[in-house]
């Protein structure tokens, strides 16, 4: 009897070992037979660096995964974008949303603090902050909500007020209708600065300016040049630097978990590199972009920064769902960078 039982145990052990190897080979086989098509959506125009960078990253990932990971890029909100784009990610679609962190604020409120107005004095400060535990913890919370954040630092420039009239103080914005993206962060910021925030998708912005539906907009010099805002009637830029325009790259946590580790590593590396390359490129290009805009008749006006900072101060109050002390934590990280 004992011999029989021993033989049974040995055969079970043998069978399970074979099963593990078979599975292992299958998983490896899965990796080599693996193919995933992801649709990447954003609102930027073909001439803007964000678009170029996304296309370059997608091409590099396709090549380095030998065609296993195909990211199809869709600029100018051809697919769901802004809030609706992030919703696709949360629903677990094979979809990558590229939007600013304020649109993640609906899921992890602390991202509204990260994207608050007049926090950063340079691109580098923001990039450094995103690498701190404070922000890494925010990213972990987003992953629990179904949003894996592959990058936060596709910076497209400080956003400034762009109007027909010269603006120097909050009082100059009284009654002025300014187009903004549709997230609460922008609406609250532009309202606090003294204007009438008028949320519109980017695609409707320039026609709204031309038709007088809005008196202006706010955006970076790279947006101004890339989307030819300078060709419209709004030629005065008020150097408010009120928001650092930056995009994150978001994919469903479940979709991410289903991708073989070797491909995850390639995807992560390429999006990280893409952001780093874009930041250094735009830092080097900004002076030339300003000069080019000036050659098209755009005027850059200094503003009463203290008056705008005072107007925006109430926005550093913690909102529902934010981690207590989140603003103090951000301020202290920034202060330590400036020592």
Q: Contact positions toward ligand X3X, by CB under 6 A?
A: 43-45, 48, 99-100, 181, 202, 219, 223, 227, 245, 247
Helix H segments across the chain? Answer: 2-33, 49-64, 82-90, 110-114, 123-130, 133-144, 184-192, 205-210, 221-226, 253-258, 261-295, 305-312, 326-337
Measured from the CB atom, the residue of 92 and 201 that comes closer to ligand X3X is 201
Pick the closer one to ligand X3X by CB: 181 or 194: 181
- The minimum distance between CB 156 and ligand X3X, in angstroms, equals 6
Assess contact for 107 and 253: CB atoms under 8 A.
no
Q: Which residues contact 95 (CB under 8 A, 6 or more apart)?
A: 38, 39, 40, 41, 79, 80, 85, 88, 89, 251, 252, 255
Q: CB-wise, 85 or 194, nearer to ligand X3X? A: 85
CB 148 → ligand X3X: shortest distance, Å? 18
* Cross-strand partners of 315: none
Asked if residues 112 and 325 have their Cβ atoms less than 8 Å apart, the reply is: no
Least separation in angstroms between residue 276's CB and ligand X3X is 19
Q: Please state the closest distance from residue 219 (CB atom) to ligand X3X, in A.
A: 5
- The nearer residue to ligand X3X, 110 or 218, going by C-beta atoms, is 218
Which is nearest to 34 in space by CA: 220, 307, 297, 258? Answer: 258
Q: Which is nearer to ligand X3X, 99 or 153 (CB)?
A: 99
CA atoms within 13 A on the CB side of 40: 27
Nearer to ligand X3X by Cβ, of 81 and 266: the residue is 81
Q: What span, in angstroms and rounded, lies between the C-alpha atoms of 174 and 165?
A: 12
Nearer to ligand X3X, 107 or 202 (CB): 202
Alpha-carbon gap, residue 63 to 42, rounded angstroms: 22
CB of 63 vs ligand X3X, minimal distance in Å: 27
8 A C-beta contact, residue 58 and residue 219: no
Q: How far is the CB of 82 from ligand X3X (least distance, A)?
A: 6
Smallest separation, CB 233 to ligand X3X (Å) = 18
């Amino acid at each position: 009897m004992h011999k029989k039982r021993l033989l049974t145990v040995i055969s079970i052990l043998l069978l399970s070992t074979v099963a593990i190897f078979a599975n292992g080979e299958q998983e490896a086989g899965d990796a080599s037979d693996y193919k995933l098509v992801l649709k990447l959506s954003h609102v930027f125009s073909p001439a803007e660096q964000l678009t170029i960078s996304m296309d370059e990253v997608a091409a590099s990932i396709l090549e380095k995964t030998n065609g296993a990971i195909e990211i199809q890029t869709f600029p100018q909100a051809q697919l769901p974008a802004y809030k609706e784009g992030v919703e696709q990610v949360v629903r677990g679609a094979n979809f990558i949303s590229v939007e600013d962190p304020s649109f993640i604020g609906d899921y992890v409120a602390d991202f509204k603090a990260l994207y608050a107005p007049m926090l950063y004095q340079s691109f580098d400060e923001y990039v450094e902050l995103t690498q701190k535990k404070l922000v890494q913890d925010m990213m972990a919370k987003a992953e629990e909500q179904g949003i894996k954040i592959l990058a936060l630092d596709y910076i497209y420039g400080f956003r400034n007020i762009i109007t027909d009239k010269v603006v120097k103080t909050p009082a100059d914005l009284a009654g002025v209708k300014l187009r903004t993206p549709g997230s609460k962060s922008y609406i609250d910021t532009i309202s606090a600065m003294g204007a009438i925030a008028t949320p519109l998708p980017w695609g409707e912005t320039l026609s709204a300016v031309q038709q007088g539906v809005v008196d202006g907009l706010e955006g970076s010099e790279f947006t101004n040049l890339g989307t030819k805002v300078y060709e419209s009637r709004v030629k005065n830029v008020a150097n408010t630097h009120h928001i650092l325009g930056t995009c994150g790259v978001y994919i469903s946590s479940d979709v991410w978990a289903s991708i073989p580790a070797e491909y995850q590593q390639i995807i992560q590396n390429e999006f990280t590199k893409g952001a780093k390359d874009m930041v250094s490129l735009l830092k080097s290009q900004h002076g030339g972009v300003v000069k080019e805009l000036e050659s098209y008749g755009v005027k850059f006006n200094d503003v009463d920064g203290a008056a705008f900072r005072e107007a925006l101060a109430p926005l550093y109050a913690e909102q529902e769902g934010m981690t207590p002390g989140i603003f103090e934590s951000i301020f202290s990280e920034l202060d330590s960078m400036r020592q």
